[in-house]
Amino acid sequence: METRQFEDLTYTLRRSPRRQTIGLTVERDGRLTVAAPDTCHERTIEKLLAEKRFWIYAKLAERNRLTATAVEREIVSGQGFPYLGRNYRLRLVTPAEATRGGQIEPLRWHHGYFLLLRSEQSNGREHFRCWYTERAGVKLRERVALYAPRLQVNPVGLRITDLGYRWGSCSRNGTLYFNWRLILAPIRIVDYVVVHELLHLLAPHHTPEYWKLLRRSLPDFVERKQWLAEHGAELAV
């Protein structure tokens, strides 16, 4: 058995003199296994991987959904909430404390703490989601403005929404969509998703040429993609 890399896919290659065809399997733990005849050329295997890429992604996503446990944080003082890859403690404050601190909104990020009005504790998740969505809009527009000129692309617009298990998408008309939960991730992961979607303005599909563009733009994109696959379930409220 050998561990090999093709574009962003890591796979285990098993050769056998008894096999006549190539078989692809996504194991229970999410590993991709390729079973091939002894005489099968590596280019033939890579061609099949390219052709089956969408099937592989679908299977990997299914495995991730089945094995990942979404984090649900308690809305209590002392609970940590992530923002751009770092955890910040929540403090429930009284109206008097909020007034003294100049807080007029239900949820505030101040001096390394999230401050939530105690009276709004039952609505805390919604307040966090609104706060994250607002910050995601600011930060993602900033990162798109940074990378779009470098990649020589010009997106039509940008929207922050709930994309479920997807982190971003690019519409046919050039509008970029990003999951609000991205703002919980480290900036290098945010940048990976931004560049991934911006490059779809040059190459709409995940063709070999697309992956060449992505590798040229972010040489370590495989590591960033792997981080997101492993930690994505933690990016929740």
Residues 30-45 have pLDDT tens digits of: 789 999 999 999 999 9
> pLDDT by residue (tens digit) across 104-156?
999 999 999 999 999 999 999 999 999 999 999 999 999 999 999 999 999 99
Q: Where are the domains positioned within the chain? A: 2-67, 80-125, 127-234
> Above 80 in pLDDT, residue 202?
yes
Backbone angles phi, psi at 38, to 5 degrees: -55, -35
Tokens coding 90: 């929540």
Q: Output the average pLDDT for the chain.
A: 90
> Above 70 in pLDDT, residue 92?
yes
> Above 70 in pLDDT, residue 221?
yes
Q: Which CATH number fits domain 127-234: 3.30.300.30, 3.90.650.10, 3.90.1300.10, 3.30.2010.10?
A: 3.30.2010.10
How far apart, in whole angstroms, are the C-alpha atoms of residue 101 and residue 110?
Answer: 9
The mean per-residue pLDDT over the stretch 190-212 comes to 92
Q: What's the whole-model pTM score? A: 0.75
Q: For 87-104, give one letter per residue: b (16+ CB within 10 A) or e.
A: ebebbbbeeeebeeeebe
Closest CA to 26 of 2, 45, 10, 15: 10
> Above 90 in pLDDT, residue 58?
no
Closest CA to 197 of 231, 131, 151, 128: 151
How far apart, in whole angstroms, are the C-alpha atoms of residue 21 and residue 188?
Answer: 40
